[in-house]
Amino acid sequence: MTKIRNIVKHFRFSKVVTQDNIPAYIRQYVKNEQVLTTYRTSHDHGVFTNTKMVLFDNQQKTKQIYTIPYKSISITSVVFGKDTAELNLYMDSGYPISLKFVDMNGTDKLRLRILYTCIDKFVNNKEPIKEDIEKLINNTIKL
């Protein structure tokens, strides 16, 4: 088995991207899927759909794109700090993925909590709550 370096320790998502502002190049990777929410750093993006997450790692001279289907995840957890959060995912292969979220306010934490419950439902082959999906898609998260 090939060892894979931890691909996501450097992702520190800080902003939510509204559905209207998702770049065209990202939309190419999620055609025919329901985009739940999109996050960004200063130069990277993370897109969460109803079937997978796609991480766009834009380095100075290269762009790496990671597609992670929810069906390949076996364990999920989320940890909240004062103004941060960390989404931890363990692949069926045992490989861990950790996504960090920074500069979060109460609404941001609620959005991530709703996203996490949806991902957990997808991972466990269950239907997420329809209202949660609608809140994410329409960006109508309110405390």
pLDDT in tens, 106-141: 999 999 999 999 999 999 999 999 999 999 999 999
Kindly tell me if the per-residue pLDDT of 81 is higher than 50: yes
Distance CA 63, CA 1 (A): 25
Tell me, what CATH number does 90's domain have? 2.30.29.50
Kindly tell me if the per-residue pLDDT of 1 is higher than 50: no
User: Does residue 69 fall inside a structural domain?
Assistant: yes
User: Does residue 137 fall inside a structural domain?
Assistant: no
User: Does residue 141 fall inside a structural domain?
Assistant: no
Q: Residue 9's pLDDT band (boundaries 50, 70, 90)? A: low
Pick the residue with more confidence: 61 or 99?
99
User: Does residue 23 fall inside a structural domain?
Assistant: yes
User: Does residue 56 fall inside a structural domain?
Assistant: yes
The whole domain housing 101 covers 12-132
Predicted pLDDT of residue 5: 52
Distance CA 113, CA 66 (A): 23
User: Does residue 139 fall inside a structural domain?
Assistant: no
User: Does residue 110 fall inside a structural domain?
Assistant: yes
Q: Residue 2's pLDDT band (boundaries 50, 70, 90)? A: very low
What tokens does 102 get?
A: 């920074």
pLDDT in tens, 46-58: 999 999 999 998 8
Q: Is-contact 32 49, C-beta < 8 A?
A: no
Work out the average pLDDT over 66-74.
Answer: 94
Count: domains in the chain: 1
The phi, psi pair for 68, rounded to 5°, reads -125, 105
What tokens does 142 get?
A: 């309110």
User: Does residue 2 fall inside a structural domain?
Assistant: no
What tokens does 109 get?
A: 């934490």
